[in-house]
Structures are given as structure tokens and as C-alpha cells.
Chains A and B, each alone.
Chain A
Amino acid sequence: MSSIGMIKQTSGAGAARAVARRRARQVGQGSGGAGANRRPRWVTYSILTFVLLVSAYPLYYSFLLGSSDAQTIAQNPVPSLVPAKHFFDNVERVLTSDIQFWKALTNSVIVASVTSISVVAFSTLAGFSFAKLRFRGRRGLLVFVIATMAVPTQLGIVPLFIVMAQLGWTGKLVAVIVPGMVTAFGVFWMTQYLEEALPYELIEAARVDGCSMIRTFWHVAMPAARPAAAMLALFTFVGSWTNFFWPFIVLGSNNPTLPVAVQLLQASYFKDYSLILAGVTLSTIPLIIVFAFAGKQLVSGIMQGAVKG
């Protein structure tokens, strides 16, 4: 049985990078055509700086208003760039309001984590099967998986709600977790990745050594899939954390996730934007932290997905 370290070297991130390099060489990797190697001038950087400001300002605006008070906001619709000192007061008011912030935070963490783990596990399993195992109907089934990505399943909410009500799941987190436990995108993503990153030789070696299918998966495919699995987990986490429509319908305000709870702020305190936007800021901070550490992975995930897709 090959050691994990060896697999990492021959099939994991290393292999993926090698594949990327090889492909880059094949297509000539014109990183931008003619003047690509010329360093761009200040105009380019000014445009980019402007874009950066545009994408960051609304968040800062939210923090600025969240650290202000209702009266100041009413007088100065354009907030001063220096935050006022009421942020923690407002946060305290959010925490003591009746939106159950802590419960919502806990719920969001549970839903996003469980969904991510489950999506990664099931997608990698299916991806391994689609990419590396031979079975009748493989192509057809894979095409079906891809086709389902174009189906607007959100429109099935009425019966889905009826089913959840029958099961007694309305208001419970399972109702949000279960429908998202494995996604077509995840299966497709892992299939694409494993096709390139996992050499047949490794699987054969494991099989010859007497590994069962599931042990082969666990000891060979899983380690090889790690980089793509991490990205998939990230995307699933973000998607689940920001999801609103279904949790809003099936959970309601008694057992909310963060977006559902934050939305309640607007309904009950619509006059007090310092409170609302303090809540918005608070609910966004966890993902900003995730972004600070894993934003790079998100970027390369989107870009890899695009080239493959």
C-alpha cells in the first residue's frame, strides 16, 4: 500500500499543478496577448483601485452607519469616512434584540459546516466513480448530472415544503441541510478534477494490493482529491451561509439562520439603520474572515472551474 506522502507527490496538488503547467504549455498560455509582458501603466492601477474601492465601500458604509446613531444618519446621508464610536453599543442592541442572534449564528455555522462536509464527501465519492471506474451507463449518468444543473429546482419549493411539513421538519435545521447534501456542481467538479489528478496506476496498485473499492477510495482518491475538495468545501460554505430563500420559508423566525435573522431586523427596526447595519456588519464578519484566509482559493477555484466548464 503506497503511503499518503507518495500519493501526495504523484497525484495530489503536485500532479494537478503539473497538469496545469503542461496544459499551459500546450495552449501557449498567452497571458493576455501582445503587450502582455509589458508592465501596465498607472492607468491600469487607477482603474483597479477604483474597482477595489467600489467593491469594498458598501461594506465599509455598513460599518460606518453601524457605528453611528439614528439621528446622525438622518442628518448626514453621506457618512463621514471616520467611524463614530457607537459600534459596540449597536452590536449590544443587536445581541439583546429579539432576533436571537447567537442562535442564528450557531445555526448558520452548523448548517454551513454540515452541508460542506456532506457535499465534499458525496461529491468526491461520485466523482471518483465517474472519473475512474468503469460501469455501464457512466456517460449517460454524467450527462444527466450536468443537465440537472440547468434545472431551477428552487421552483419545487411548494411540494418540498409540504413534504417537510409532513415529516415534521419545518422549523428544524435538517430541513435546510438535507436538500443540499450533495450537488450536481460538486459531482461535476470532483469528476473533472479526479480525471486529471488521479493516475490509474495508483488505483491499480491499491487494487492489486487487495484493497476493496471503498478502501481504494479512502486511501488513494481522497488524498488526491484534497485540493479540489477544499475549494468545493469553501464554495459550499459560502453558498450555504448566504442562502436565504429556502431557510426563510422553512425555518421561519423562531429558529433562524443568520440571513433570516438579519432580515428580521429590518422588519422590526426599520427606522433605526444604525442597528440594522450593525447587524449586517456583524453577520458579514465571519465570511470576511474566511475570505481573508481563503480568498485566494476562491479566486483560483472560480478560474479553474471556468476553464473546465
Chain B
Amino acid sequence: MAVITTPELDPAPGRAPRRIAFRQRIGRWDVKASPYLYVSPFFILFAIVGLFPLGYTAWVSLHDWNLIGGKGDFVELDNFTNVLAQPNFRTGLRNTFSIFLLSSVPQVFAGLVLAAVLNANLRAKTFWRMGVLLPYVVAPVAVGLIFSKMFADQSGMFNTLLGNVGIDPIRWHADVLASHIAIATMVNFRWTGYTTLILLAAMQAVPSDLYEAAVIDGASRARQFFSVTVPMLRPTIIFVVITSTIGGLQIFDEPRMYDQFGQGGADRQWMTVTMYLYELGWGAQKSFGRAAAVAWILFLIIIAIGLLNFFLTRRISTSGSRAGRDKR
């Protein structure tokens, strides 16, 4: 291991000019302080715009706090009990989880299949890889606008196409499940390519001798995929699931753009928790206290799921295959 500090020679006694001593002190200070100085911007910024707001959210959630009027009385847990009693909040929670499941589960499966296809010895590799990634550069707002027109209940493209093959129009906006599917489609459209490339990278890191051994044992291509590739990818799949949980449970852009009112539909059929949070804080109520309570509840849910994931992952990686440790 190389060390960065240059050896500090003691100046010969009596002949040490002051300037050198001074420069040395500067130099020593430079070596000691610089590492901290360089990493400090992140920690300072995170403290100000990450940690402090999250902690302060708890404080705000215990008060009557208004967008315009500012801080009011201390109300203990009133905001929480109030929010938890709202049917809209529970609807939002249900919608969020439903949309999240509909977007993350198919996405991982589609990503696995696509990655396997892309993992072949293709001509023009980069071209195909770029092809799957294209939707990633389209803003969620744009995706939302495009798909909300495609999924229009009347005179929408999908319903017309369905009509052409004799299927009754689906009420993409009016129905709960259908609207969730439509919104999940937007998420999947934008993120499947990204997920695919992550899985593809992990697939390429699977040692080829495992496949050779499988071939010798007479495994078919499909068998190789399920018995070698998928187990080896487990850590990566978990990684994908965790990151999509954090993002997916905070979903706002796509459902917000699904109609022109941005309230999640007449019966709040596709209103998510974050949309509800926005409505409480910046909508008619202007209640920052309640918005903060919603934020804290969602925060706790996400942390809980994160921990669950973490322990599940540890169980899997210790009892399951050794994939986690082999992959570097």
C-alpha cells in the first residue's frame, strides 16, 4: 500500500530557515485536512437538503402548519390520526403499491428475457443496446402525456386497436386496475431498457466455466438460463428491486400527467401517496402539517421495506448460491 504523505524530514538543527518550517507546517496541514475538505461538500449538502428536511418533517408534522400562515399550534399526533383516517390516504396507499407491483415485477421479468436476448453474439451490439435504452431519455412528464393520449377511454389508440380485433373498449381511466396498468406501462416503458442493461452486465460477468459444466451435464439452453444464469444474477436482481422500491413508492410524475386535472381521477382511482402529499400541502388545504405527516408515514414504509429487503437478501445470499460473493 502506497501512502500519500511524503516523509517529513526533520530540518537540520540550527540551519532550518523559517520559511521551510512554515511551508512544512502548511504541507502537513494540507495532507491532514485535505481529505476531509474534499469529501465535505457532499456531507454538508446532504445534511442541509437531505437529513435536516427529513428530521424537520417530523417536527412540522406535529404542528398545525400552513403554506401561507406558517407555523401554528403544537397538535401532537393529530395530523397523523387525521391523515390515517382519510379514505383518500388509504386509496393512495393502495394505488401506490398496486402501480409499484405492476411496474416492477413485469419489468424484472422482461429485463431478464431481453438481457438474455441481448447477450447473444449479436451484430451491431451497441445499436441494439442503445435501442432499448432510448425511452430512458424521455422525461416522465412527456411519457405521461404521450401515453395518456394512447390510453384515452374514447378515441384512444389502444381502444381503437382492440376494437379492430373485436374486443370491447377498456376503461383505461375510469377503472381502477386498468388505470394502474396504464400508468405501470409508462414506468415500464421508460425503465425496462435500463434494467435490462444492468442485468445484461451481470450476465456477462457470469463465469463461462459454469455454462461449460452445464453443457457437459447435458443442460438445454433453457435449463442453463434457469439453473445457471438466474441464480447467478440474484444479487443484481435484488439490487434492481431495492432501487425500484425507493423510486417506485414515491411515484408522482406519470400519474399526475394521466389526465388534465392531475388529481388522480374522479374517484382517485390512480392517485398515489406522493400526489396526495402534494395535494395536502399545495392544494386547497395548504396544510404542511398533514403533508409532512404523509411524508413521514411514506418514509417509514420505505425504510421498513428497505430493511426487509436487506434481511431477505442476507438470508438468500448466505443460504442460497454463492453468487453474491463470486461476483465482484
Contact = CB atoms under 8 A, between A and B. Distances in A.
Interface of A: 23, 27-40, 44-45, 47-48, 51-52, 54-56, 58-59, 61-62, 65, 73-74, 77-79, 122-123, 125-126, 128-130, 132-135, 138, 141, 145, 148, 150-163, 178-179, 181-184, 187, 200-201, 203-204, 207-208, 212-214, 217, 238, 241-242, 244-245, 249, 258-259, 262-263, 265-267, 270, 273, 276-277, 280, 283-284, 287-288, 290-291, 295-296, 298-299, 302-307, 309
Contacts of A135: 32, 35-36
Contacts of A152: 246, 249-250, 298-299, 302
Contacts of B32: 135
Given A61-B150, A208-B6, A155 B57 contact: yes
Most buried by A among B49, B120, B133, B161: B120
Majority-rule SS of A interface residues: helix
Contact of B142 (A162, A201, A249, A280): A280
Contacts of B49: 153, 156, 160, 178-179
Interface residues of B, number: 119
Contacts of B160: 77-78
A263 B239 CA distance: 32
A156 B295 contact: yes
Given A27-B207, A138-B35, A58 B150 contact: yes
A148 B257 CA distance: 29
Interface stretch (B39-47, B87-95, B173-181): B39-47
Contacts, number: 338
Contact of A302 (B128, B135, B194, B274): B194
28 contacts: A28-B207, A33-B224, A33-B229, A34-B215, A39-B121, A44-B117, A45-B122, A56-B131, A74-B155, A123-B42, A129-B38, A135-B32, A135-B35, A145-B42, A155-B299, A156-B56, A157-B277, A157-B281, A178-B49, A184-B46, A204-B6, A214-B34, A244-B139, A244-B141, A266-B260, A267-B262, A276-B149, A306-B202
B260 A56 contact: no
B189 to A, nearest CB: 7
Nearest to B26: A212
A32 B133 contact: no
Most buried by A among B5, B27, B260: B260
Given A34-B211, A152-B250, A44 B120 contact: yes
A300 B141 CA distance: 26
Interface string B33-71: 011101101110110011011101101100000000000
Given A28-B207, A30-B210, A152-B250, 12 more contacts: A31-B119, A44-B117, A59-B134, A77-B152, A126-B38, A135-B35, A148-B50, A182-B45, A187-B42, A276-B145, A277-B149, A307-B202
Contacts of A302: 133, 194, 197-198, 201
Given A302-B198, A306-B202, A33 B138 contact: no
A65 B156 CA distance: 12
A181 B41 contact: yes
Interface of B: 1-6, 27, 30-32, 34-36, 38-39, 41-43, 45-46, 49-50, 52-54, 56-57, 59-60, 114, 117-123, 126, 128-143, 145-147, 149-150, 152, 155-157, 159-161, 189, 193-194, 197-212, 214-215, 221, 224, 228-229, 236, 239, 242, 246, 249-250, 252-253, 256-257, 260, 262, 274, 277-278, 281-282, 288, 291-292, 295-296, 298-299, 302, 306, 327-328
A262 B221 CA distance: 47
Contacts of A299: 126, 129-130, 133, 197
B206 A33 contact: yes
Majority-rule SS of B interface residues: helix
Contacts of A151: 50, 54
A35 B146 contact: no
Contact of A156 (B57, B128, B157): B57
Contacts of A160: 49, 53
B122 A58 contact: no
Given A48-B128, A77-B152, A277 B145 contact: yes
A207 B35 contact: no
B257 A266 contact: yes
A153 B106 CA distance: 26
Contacts of A126: 38-39, 41-42
